[in-house]
Amino acid sequence: MLQDPTSGGAAIETPSLLSALNLTKHYGGVKALTGVSLELAPGEIHALCGENGAGKSTFIKILGGLVEPDDGSITVDGQQLKLGHRTDPKLISIVHQELAIVPTLSVLDNILLGGADQREIYLRGRYRDTVRAHLDSVGLSHVKLDSPASRLSLAECQLVEIARGMSRQAKVLLLDEPTATLSDAEIVRVFDVARRLRDQGTAMIFVSHRLDEVFALTDRITVFRNGQHVITSKTADMTTGEVVKAMIGRELVRHPVKATEGRASLQPRLSVTNLSVDDKLKALSVDVAPGEIVAVVGQLGSGAETVVEALAGLRGDISRSVRLDGEVAKIDSVRSALRCGVGYVAEDRADKGVFLDAPIGINITASVMSKFSRAGVMQRAAEATEARRLAGMFAIDAKRLSHEVSTLRGQFKKPTALV
């Protein structure tokens, strides 16, 4: 039976489809999870919230059999799972935050990859109609089944992950930040799919840092903090402020931001005229004032991502006039963009944004390494000092700067198995 958190823990007449009890996982001296429990009813969408490091991803990976806990038990539909072993995808399937896409395989094969074991010849034709329907339902009607996954954008890859999860027809679907790379229109499609699955009896755990999504989609909310269970409540009975307080352990004090007046009269910091990129983008002109933030938005394939790639020097097939602080800027490579003072944060961090096997500190200072080189010799002390300074600006623990960047949470580390 589920426990109603509003009734002092009294049982309510709803059978549990999934019951995870007292899960504990330590990595050396780090307590990732300490005795956390969660129960899930059929047809329930249950939000799992918490700050980075709260234990959400560890909990999800334990449920999927990717991580073996030190203690605890998991039961799904009356079956007790063997902890640390790959969970039957018909029982639990994960839509990974860390993409599990094989770029050299077709979209069709990526959808089918990791499903039920085939005990006969692999005949793709029998699955094409079903896979096509799943892709269409998440907004990928334009994607061909036989197209290599390497041709997909990051957002399209995330939608393929969601379609794969749907194709498993699992009793429990774990959605680990599935909307992080998606546009509003794509999120609407994903939510429509989630609600349809819920109506069919599928239970879901939904992990997200976007609380507006949590309140729009879910039935109950569980909050973890520092690897411990803090609260479980009906979504309708909580406010955003209460969830935030549970996540961080204190009231969040908001300070009003004072608007800057008179930007329109300032000389543009960046001025772009007639930016055109092959057949992706035609004649875009925009001015950006000092201190101004300009959003470039659009659905998949609209060319929005092409704008920043061109200005970052990643596109050679372009024509445009770019001025920085009134001076003509020739940007035709990443090196020239950096010389002009243009920085770029990649959409696909794992492939384009970081060196996965390099330390966090090196990744932080990688684009400014020349500042610490004297006669071809790296000044390691100066580089380390700068890495610590920059890490402090973004609340990165300086003790972890020597660790590989792949140890961080997010879309960095490639999963070792598909669930």
d(CA 295, CA 255): 23
Query: Within 10 A of 138 (CB to CB), how many other CB atoms are there?
Result: 24
Residue 173: in which H helix or E strand, if any?
A: strand 172-176
Dist CA 143 CA 211 (whole Å): 30
Strand order of the β-sheet with 327-328 is 281-288, 270-277, 318-324, 327-328
> Pick from 154, 156, 155, 166: which is nearest to 193 by CA?
166
pTM for this model (two decimals): 0.66
Helix (H) or strand (E) holding 24, with range, is: strand 18-27
- What are the phi and psi torsion angles at 414 (to 5°)? -75, 130
- The one-digit pLDDT tens for each residue of the chain (419 residues) are 555 444 444 444 567 899 999 999 988 777 889 999 999 999 999 999 998 888 998 999 999 898 999 999 999 998 999 998 888 888 898 887 777 888 999 999 998 887 665 556 677 788 899 899 989 888 888 999 999 999 888 778 888 888 888 888 889 999 988 888 777 888 888 888 889 889 989 999 999 889 999 999 999 999 999 999 999 999 999 999 999 999 988 876 666 656 555 565 678 888 888 777 776 677 778 888 888 888 877 665 666 777 777 777 777 656 667 888 888 878 777 777 777 788 788 766 666 778 877 888 888 888 777 788 787 787 888 888 888 888 888 877 787 788 877 766 554 444 444 44
Going by C-alpha positions, the residue among 37, 30, 28, 29 that lies closest to residue 72 is 37
pLDDT of residue 225: 92
| pLDDT for the residue 227 | 92
Check: CB of residue 208 under 8 Å from CB of residue 179: yes
CATH 3.40.50.300 region(s) of the chain?
Answer: 2-248
Residues 6+ apart with CB under 8 A from 70: 24, 25, 26
Output the pLDDT for position 121.
67
Please state which of the four CATH numbers 3.30.565.10, 3.40.50.970, 3.40.50.2000, 3.40.50.300 is assigned to the domain occupying 2-248. 3.40.50.300
Given this model, what pLDDT does residue 15 score? 76
Confidence at residue 76, expressed as pLDDT on a 0 to 100 scale: 93
Contact by Cβ (8 Å): 288, 268: yes
- How many residues make up the chain in this entry? 419
Q: How far is CA 105 from the centre of its chain?
A: 22
